[in-house]
Chain A
Amino acid sequence: MMVKEEKGAGGGNDIQWCFSQVKGAIDDDVAEADIISTVEFNHSGELLATGDKGGRVVIFQQEQENKIQSHSRGEYNVYSTFQSHEPEFDYLKSLEIEEKINKIRWLPQKNAAQFLLSTNDKTIKLWKISERDKRPEGYNLKEEDGRYRDPTTVTTLRVPVFRPMDLMVEASPRRIFANAHTYHINSISINSDYETYLSADDLRINLWHLEITDRSFNIVDIKPANMEELTEVITAAEFHPNSCNTFVYSSSKGTIRLCDMRASALCDRHSKLFEEPEDPSNRSFFSEIISSISDVKFSHSGRYMMTRDYLSVKIWDLNMENRPVETYQVHEYLRSKLCSLYENDCIFDKFECCWNGSDSVVMTGSYNNFFRMFDRNTKRDITLEASRENNKPRTVLKPRKVCASGKRKKDEISVDSLDFNKKILHTAWHPKENIIAVATTNNLYIFQDKVN
């Protein structure tokens, strides 16, 4: 059992990653609306959702393994596409509200249909994605094609009958949770009690009931009385995977606060504060900017959490607040480039991070369409590239290396030739298998491990 588990969801380095699929337009001309803004697997991994700047949600479904082909574990094909958010204008504040999908979260499956929450800066929506394979037939007063019959010819009543039809997938909005956020929503997270979720903006976190749209409870508010005293904003928030009263939120100052909702209705006071003392030798003008946390994720087990700041990924044990148990450098070679990264605004990029199904490997993105994996057991790391070259199925991805300075070896890429416009901010890992989804600007790459 143990052996199987280790092998199945094993280390990032011991498995060889192969190209599987790429989605999206091929041409280099990128339409703004097509830029992918979030990627999320559902709880079984059978569905994969992406959201984009155009407010669309695209859902891919893994094909059933019906053939005996060993190399492919079922490709992901488009299952449903729908417009989740439209651009809006807030007349009270004279603000444009972008349609960009900031986050998607799947609900645990409750019946044959699937449900997800999607959010832009202001409004969260609950969508139902359901299948229909029957349709009613038979009218009394008209033909199926809509022509009316002469009513006098109707001598018996006909009850419509459901007949099989081609499978149709429908997405319908079920709830709209609006008007609760003054600032931009950066996170949504569903509670393990299956009935509530939180939404976080720059200064506040609200708690919602999934069935109630006209009211939410404010549980965290860090807005100072005087906005000129503002020194810190909320950057991400997430519920604990199985302890329904616990959630964390990260801040722009590099701290993570853990709150216990049992203690009081307002969680302005945290019960734990995770913070690593700053290394004085690394102190610079950019220290505060690069320590800002862009993403926080609990491990599936609920024992650890991972945070991503600009240069590193840190793993924290929930029982140890004063320092992370593990720290992985994502692209330390950029430390000398911070000045130019500040000038081109890249230093404010919000990289996300994710765990593999067994919490043994973590993954996060970088520039030049590189993404990184760190194996927590072997402490080995790898850099891979999402690119259209060598994109034949089963092609094993070659590890990439960036040379920090001086002489460049063969196969190494110099820091100066990195393309900072190609960044991988959003990645997702299948909850059970070694299948990953990596979003480059407007393409979605799916890789999987090589099955021997």
Chain B
Amino acid sequence: MAGAAGPGTGPGAAGGNGDDSLYPIAVLIDELRNEDVQLRLNSIKKLSTIALALGVERTRTELLPFLTDTIYDEDEVLLALAEQLGNFTGLVGGPDFAHCLLPPLESLATVEETVVRDKAVESLRQISQEHTPVALEAHFVPLVKRLAGGDWFTSRTSACGLFSVCYPRASAGVRAEIRQHFRSLCSDDTPMVRRAAASKLGELAKVLELDSVKSEIVPLFTSLASDEQDSVRLLAVEACVSIAQLLSQEDLEALVMPTLRQAAEDKSWRVRYMVADKFSELQRAVGPKITLSDLIPAFQNLLKDCEAEVRAAAAHKVRELCENLPTEGRETIIMNQILPYIKELVSDTNQHVKSALASVIMGLSTILGKENTIEHLLPLFLAQLKDECPEVRLNIISNLDCVNEVIGIRQLSQSLLPAIVELAEDAKWRVRLAIIEYMPLLAGQLGVEFFDEKLNSLCMAWLVDHVYAVREAATTNLMKLVQRFGTEWAQSTIVPRVLVMANDPNYLHRMTTLFCINALSEACGQEITTKHMLPVVVKMAGDQVANVRFNVAKSLQKIGPILDTEALREEVKPVLQKLGQDEDVDVQYFAQEAISVVARRLHRPPGEAGVIPDAEGSERGRALRVRGRGQDPGRAHRKRAARAASEAAVEAAWFGGTDAAKGPACQLRVNPRDALALLEIADLVPFSRD
């Protein structure tokens, strides 16, 4: 019982002897009805502390009745309450009193918000286990029946999730009643309830006697699988998985397969989609024999379904399906029965189908081995690398490691390079952004020589991309490359080219130099940072653009921990002090901030001051910095916000404005019709200009 106590509540609190122990509890109780949701939420989360202070008796007689009536509250409060009550048995006096928790959870199980109801059901399931068999029949089963017979469908849907927990522990008579109630919910008037019943059918089947499964669950399954509502029928597919696991092959063939075959050919694409989506589970549940006789032909049909969504879902499952086939004869089956359909999909009319396939097809090479891969799969990969849709190419490139293991990446590199270059220069910045993320992976597989020769210039070009997100990703990419290829490589290839940009006429590019230094300094280490990077940063402190100058201050603060104290004292501190006197208020602000961080390092007692501060030290510094920022006067904040906005505007003006306008627009509108939101942008921009 004490196990449920909140932290910091000593045994003395329960007695309520002194004001000291009562006061915090009194506050918690009062805040249960505070107007501020956050405070109510805090109190609900400390409900165990309150209950412990009140003692089991008052918790049962006063706290629980109050909680039962608080169902008017915000969802997040109700959700927290439902969760708390699931662990409350100890606080109401142990299993003998677990039933006292049922009334509040019962009312929570009828609210309209699904997350709250589900949580209440979860807690009820938890508590059901703490009931004695007698209490279960005296208190819990009647509750389930009440919910199942409720006027509103919210309560009936909640009931569906409770049958399976009381069934195994109930007596034979009650079991019959439970089955009866479940049957009637399966034919409820409202589709909501039938859906809930369908989704719990498999779970209930698992706890029923095998005879009842055959005599009762299977007919219910059959009727739900032919429900007039697609949304119910598609849930029956899920139930199919659980039921199939319980039955022998013979029964499976007779009782379940007709329904499954029907589902795979359902008139509604959503049901067929569900079959495709659950294909691996179904495959495991029905076993290898039925897979070969029934599922493979069904899968072939799904791969050439008339609805693209279905084909895409099936294409996603190709690899898993092949992997799960019995090893014996697997290659023949794939080569003869699956591969011909895959070849068709490579040139599908729908880009989602192609990209779904591209995301898994590389996995087949490990299953089929080197020769088959070279002869049959490689042509497909090469075709996909030339696909018009960037997502397809990206998916192939992102899975290169699978092929690398089997045939080595050299086979592909000739086709790979043009594909990468094309993606790197794609007109859509999200595509450019996506390919950047694969550069470290590609670099690792292609090796440093190939990289320097072919790809390095691309990585550099991204640094001056006209979209900030791309430039930002490009700096992170450099850091990852340095981690992979080492500091020597960095010093000879990357650092000089980054530092040259410090003299660029465009201030955005000059700032990119600073961002690169921020990212690279740690990976490059003290020597390179002090010798090569620091002088450039120091020089940029005299930049004419204020944004560059305050980024200098930020960079100095960032690379400070990597430098030794001498460099800090001799080079960094004077620059920061000068910036601290800058005419621009924001430069002053960031300079001051950096000074305070650097000063702490310099004034630390010698014993504690390491060249590189220990993790705790830097952590402490960061915490202080955050607080410092919080105390910043509002004026400076506002001004910086205005500057950020004008910065964006300047950038937009600089580059013709189109891309900058695209960013927010495509975030506003998410239309899954085009999985890549970028296609929608093309549609939106003309309107925003109208």
User: Which residues of A are in contact with B by a Cβ distance under 8 Å?
Assistant: 92-93, 108-113, 115, 128, 130, 132, 134, 136, 139-142, 151-152, 154-162, 170, 174, 179-180, 182, 192-195, 211, 214-218, 221, 243-245, 261-266
Contact = CB atoms under 8 A, between A and B. Distances in A.
Contacts of A158: 26, 29
Contact of B191 (A154, A160, A174, A192): A192
A123 to B, nearest CB: 12
A151 B309 contact: no
B688 interface: yes
Nearest to B59: A159
A154 B30 CA distance: 13
Contacts of B54: 157, 159
B19 A111 contact: no
Contacts of A162: 65-66, 69
B669 to A, nearest CB: 5
A157 B191 contact: no
Given A112-B152, A262-B270, A264-B269, 12 more contacts: A93-B687, A111-B152, A115-B112, A128-B112, A155-B19, A157-B16, A157-B29, A159-B62, A159-B63, A179-B670, A180-B669, A244-B230
Nearest to B63: A159
A193 B231 contact: yes
Interface string B300-340: 00000011110000000000000000000000000000000
Given A141-B26, A262-B269, A245 B191 contact: no
Nearest to B29: A140
Nearest to A194: B192
B29 A136 contact: no
B670 A217 contact: no
19 contacts: A92-B665, A92-B668, A109-B152, A110-B192, A112-B152, A136-B33, A136-B66, A139-B30, A151-B19, A151-B26, A155-B19, A156-B16, A157-B29, A161-B62, A182-B684, A182-B687, A211-B114, A218-B673, A244-B229
B515 interface: no
B670 A160 contact: no
B69 A154 contact: no
Q: Which 4 A-B pairs have the closest CB atoms?
A: A262-B268, A140-B26, A159-B62, A162-B69
Contacts of A179: 668-670
Given A140-B29, A157-B53, A215-B670, A265 B309 contact: yes
Nearest to B27: A141
Contact of B112 (A110, A262, A263): A110
Contacts of B306: 264
A180 B669 CA distance: 6
B664 interface: yes
B505 interface: no
Interface in B14-36: 16, 19, 22-23, 25-27, 29-30, 32-33
Contact of A180 (B19, B63, B192, B671): B671
B111 interface: yes
A29 to B, nearest CB: 37
Nearest to A142: B30
Given A142-B30, A192-B191, A262-B267, A154 B152 contact: no
A157 B25 contact: yes
A335 B270 CA distance: 47
Contacts of A263: 269, 307
B190 interface: yes
A244 B231 contact: yes
A218 B112 CA distance: 26
A160 B665 contact: no
A398 to B, nearest CB: 43
A244 B684 CA distance: 31
A161 B66 contact: yes
A410 B417 CA distance: 90
B672 interface: yes
A228 to B, nearest CB: 12
Contact of B23 (A154, A159, A180, A195): A154
B654 interface: no
B670 A264 contact: no
A151 B673 contact: no
Contacts of B661: 92
Contacts of A182: 684, 687
A196 to B, nearest CB: 8
Judged by DSSP, the binding face of A is loop
A214 B230 contact: no
Contacts of A170: 72
B289 interface: no
B112 A93 contact: no
B258 to A, nearest CB: 21
B199 interface: no
A126 to B, nearest CB: 10
A230 to B, nearest CB: 14
Contact of B673 (A154, A262, A266): A266
Interface in B61-99: 62-63, 65-66, 69-70, 72
Given A245-B230, A265-B307, A159 B58 contact: yes
A239 B22 CA distance: 59
Contacts of B670: 179, 214-215
B668 A132 contact: no
A192 B194 CA distance: 13
Contacts of A262: 230, 267-270
Contact of B153 (A110, A113, A151): A110
A182 B620 CA distance: 49
Contacts of A113: 112
Nearest to A262: B268
Contact of B307 (A115, A142, A156, A264): A264
B191 A152 contact: no
Interface string B493-511: 0000000000000000000
A221 B674 CA distance: 13
Contacts of A154: 19, 22-23, 26
A82 to B, nearest CB: 16
Contacts of B665: 92
A84 B508 CA distance: 45
Contacts of A110: 112, 152-154, 192
A388 B23 CA distance: 64
B353 to A, nearest CB: 12
B475 interface: no
Given A110-B112, A113-B112, A215 B672 contact: yes
Given A179-B669, A263-B269, A193 B191 contact: yes
Contact of B308 (A109, A161, A265): A265
Given A162-B69, A179-B669, A265 B269 contact: yes
Interface string B462-475: 00000000000000
Given A194-B191, A216-B671, A92 B307 contact: no
B155 interface: yes
B30 to A, nearest CB: 5
B690 interface: yes
Contacts of A261: 230, 268, 270
A262 B274 CA distance: 13
Contacts of A265: 269, 307-309
Chain B CB count within 10 A is highest, among A152, A159, A162, for A159
A80 to B, nearest CB: 15
A245 B229 CA distance: 8
A159 B26 CA distance: 9
B283 interface: no
B154 A111 contact: yes
Given A132-B72, A159-B66, A266-B673, A111 B269 contact: no
A427 B390 CA distance: 52
A165 B309 CA distance: 54
B477 interface: no
B512 interface: no
Given A211-B114, A244-B191, A159 B29 contact: yes
Contacts of B30: 139-142
Interface in B148-200: 152-155, 190-192, 195
